[in-house]
Chain A
Amino acid sequence: MSTVVLLLFTGLGLGALYFLVAAGLSLIYGLMGVLNFAHGAFLTLGAFTGWEIARRTGADSWWTFLLSLLVGAVAGAVFAAFTEFVLIRRLYRRHIEQVLITVGLSLAAVALFDGIWGTDAVFIQGPAWFKETTEILGARIPNDRFICIIAAVLVLLALVFFLKNTRYGMIIRAGVENRSMVTALGIDVRKAFTLVFTIGGAAAGLGGVLASHYFGYVSPLLGGSLLIFAFIVTVIGGLGSLTGAAIAAVAVAVLQQFANFYLGGTGDFVVVLALALVLLFRPSGLLGRTS
């Protein structure tokens, strides 16, 4: 029983990270039709800047941790906004070329991180509480899992509130449904593009700082490895659906953890298998619109 609870919470923690990456990917794809390969680079930048802040201000206090979260999210947001504004916008409606730009950007960015911070993984320190465990139903669960879960839930709630109750949120939702109609009504959708990129980048940057605590290290390849699972999550959840991304993130991560433990480290295969099954029986994803 305790093993099951432990796996469940570890899976939820990992699912929280997947969600933070997949939320931005899914919104960006839903609104703009761009598959953003540079999303992993946003995450890595967030992780590295968060680590730099923590390192320079004393690694073990809560204030430092919160500051690193904030700085990581801002770094990711600024990088993402820059990407949209300078690179993506020039290729309006040329989806594949936009994808190619993000591919080139992620190559260049990861190489640059390599050059600045080195290719080796950097091990990080957090508040002392992170290293302790909390006992739930007999399972001793590392505390950093809870932080990831809480952060992801807060981000989900904030995004849902933003999308449902604000003017720009409404424009984004309408844009996902039917972009040309929104444009025809005289609303400049391009502002929404920058906004969605910024939000996605912030979520990824936040995810980067949390991922560095979850895995215990930062490396230039951190973003790339999470990005692939985030792709799988967005396809399974249904492209453009935030709720779908949340459900799929949790399902994929929990499935992965259980398969890793009970089926001898085959978590990654089970996930790809799940993807294949979803595609065979429901090509548009769990909550995707059927086209």
Chain B
Amino acid sequence: MTTETDATDTQETPDKTPDPAGSPRRRAVNDGGRPPLHLTRGRMVGAAAGIAGIVLLILLPLLNLSLPGVLPGPTYTPGSLQLLAMCMLMAAAALTYHLLLGVAGLLSFGHALYFGAGVYGLGIILQNLDIPLLPAMGLTLLVVIVLAHVVGSISLRVSGIPFAMVTLAFAQAGSVVVGRNPEGATGGDEGLTLRTDNLPDFLVGVVNTRNLYWLALAVLVAVFIIVTWVQSSRAGHVAAAVRENELRVRVLGLQPYLVKLLIFVVSAVLVSIIGMVFLLLQSGAVPRAVSADLTITLLVMVVLGGVGSRWGAVIGGVFYTILDQRLTALANSDAIDALPDVLRVPLSEPLFILGTLFILVVLFLPGGLTGTAQRLAQRRSRRGADRVQKSREILEEAA
């Protein structure tokens, strides 16, 4: 049953070996069987760069760095920290979407439902119950877990494109509830303002934006670690195997349905936690948090970064958020206002530019930003091309 026996005597005990589908499992065996040899120089450099990057990000609110054109001001100002924190939350949300699409091959159009459940759930609980932040978060989490199980177990009865449509329908129902404003709980189109009575002081007010920034950074790092862990766990390998060949997994006696449900629920729970932090960061909930647009935004981020790559999701999330913010600033600038109508109208709509960019990436850069970067950096080796190929395969398998 252990990985070692799998590698050595697969032929002796074919009925006992839970080898879900050749290639991903075998790759995993090689990874797990000889861990010391795999700490190559490249990996060590990568890990060191990662740790250095995180340390830099932790120190950022204490530094006075300017990135003109990217950030609205020096890094210690609340405006910049707010934007950076938003980038991190979106990157983390994109990571949870990567868990669905990149790992399990589930093209969900209803991911915003759980993000919105986190945002509105916590908002409503803080509004109506007199309990501190952590119990309120726990209560919200409980609601999300139940919701994800119910919706997941129904939607997973179909797969591929019908799954996309069904998740969209459920998310739309959630969006309608929020818009209807039942008994004044969600605030309808106006949204909900965060009630701060029961929040700890260090999370309230513009002065404390840097605490929220650190919180967002912690969430991103934690989500990255959890997603990595889930992806390399047994369930993750089975999910990847299901993506590649569901029938074979079933023949081997495993249950694809339960594994997919597990991934679905984990992803939903993670994104709802991100939603809760989003509520604290924005000091309020807006209907957009539960709309189909948000899911589509996450999908765009993952595809922009490169499907099937964790770093791709992170880079896509950060890139998209900053671009969106910058394009909105550009749309309101005088330079755009002075242009003739033919140019002014499209350029003053950030979503038009982002949508067009997205189409171009899908058409011409199939591996997304990370795939293209790898291909450019390593022309000689074949890794970049492999990445592109893998992204394409994952997308095909999701169908």
Contacts and interface: CB of A to CB of B under 8 A. Distances in A.
Interface of A: 29, 33, 35, 87, 90-91, 94-97, 99-101, 103-112, 114-116, 224, 228, 231-232, 234-235, 239, 265, 268-269, 272, 275-276, 279-280, 283
A219 to B, nearest CB: 14
B362 A231 contact: no
Nearest to A102: B359
Nearest to A267: B176
Contacts of A90: 363
B392 interface: yes
B395 A268 contact: no
29 contacts: A35-B164, A91-B363, A97-B395, A99-B161, A100-B303, A103-B296, A104-B355, A106-B355, A107-B296, A108-B351, A108-B359, A111-B352, A112-B345, A112-B352, A114-B351, A228-B168, A228-B169, A231-B165, A231-B169, A232-B169, A235-B162, A239-B162, A268-B172, A269-B176, A272-B169, A272-B173, A275-B169, A279-B154, A279-B166
Contact of A107 (B169, B345, B358, B366): B358
A223 to B, nearest CB: 13
Contacts of B362: 91, 97, 100-101, 104
A100 B169 CA distance: 18
Given A91-B362, A279-B154, A279-B155, 10 more contacts: A94-B395, A104-B358, A107-B351, A108-B359, A111-B349, A112-B345, A228-B168, A235-B162, A280-B154, A283-B162
A268 B173 contact: yes
Nearest to B150: A276
B161 A35 contact: yes
Contact of B363 (A87, A96, A275, A283): A87
Nearest to A272: B173
Nearest to B161: A35
Contacts of B107: 96, 99
B157 A279 contact: yes
Given A111-B349, A235-B166, A269-B173, A96 B395 contact: yes
B359 A279 contact: no
Judged by DSSP, the binding face of A is: helix
Nearest to B177: A269
B188 interface: no
B183 to A, nearest CB: 12
B396 interface: yes
Contacts of A224: 292
Contact of B359 (A87, A231, A280): A87
A104 B359 contact: yes
Contacts of A104: 300, 355-356, 358-359, 362
Contact of B351 (A110, A232, A265, A276): A110
B354 interface: yes
Name the interface size band of chain B: 35 or more
Interface in B292-333: 292, 296, 299-300, 303
Contact of A275 (B166, B351, B392): B166
Given A91-B363, A104-B362, A279-B158, A114 B349 contact: yes
A108 B351 CA distance: 6
B165 to A, nearest CB: 4
B250 interface: no
A116 B303 CA distance: 28
A99 B191 CA distance: 31
B146 interface: no
A134 B164 CA distance: 41
A77 B164 CA distance: 25
B180 interface: yes
Contacts of A111: 349-352, 355
A120 B355 CA distance: 21
Contact of B345 (A108, A116, A234): A116
A94 B161 CA distance: 13
Contacts of A283: 157-158, 162
Interface string B131-156: 00000000000000000000000110
Interface in B350-399: 350-352, 354-356, 358-359, 362-363, 366, 392, 395-396, 398-399
B348 interface: yes
B50 interface: no
Interface string B333-351: 0000000000001101111
Contacts of B296: 103, 107
Contact of A101 (B170, B352, B363, B398): B363
A236 B249 CA distance: 29
Nearest to B153: A280
B112 to A, nearest CB: 13
B116 to A, nearest CB: 15
A190 B292 CA distance: 31
Nearest to B366: A97
A115 B399 contact: no
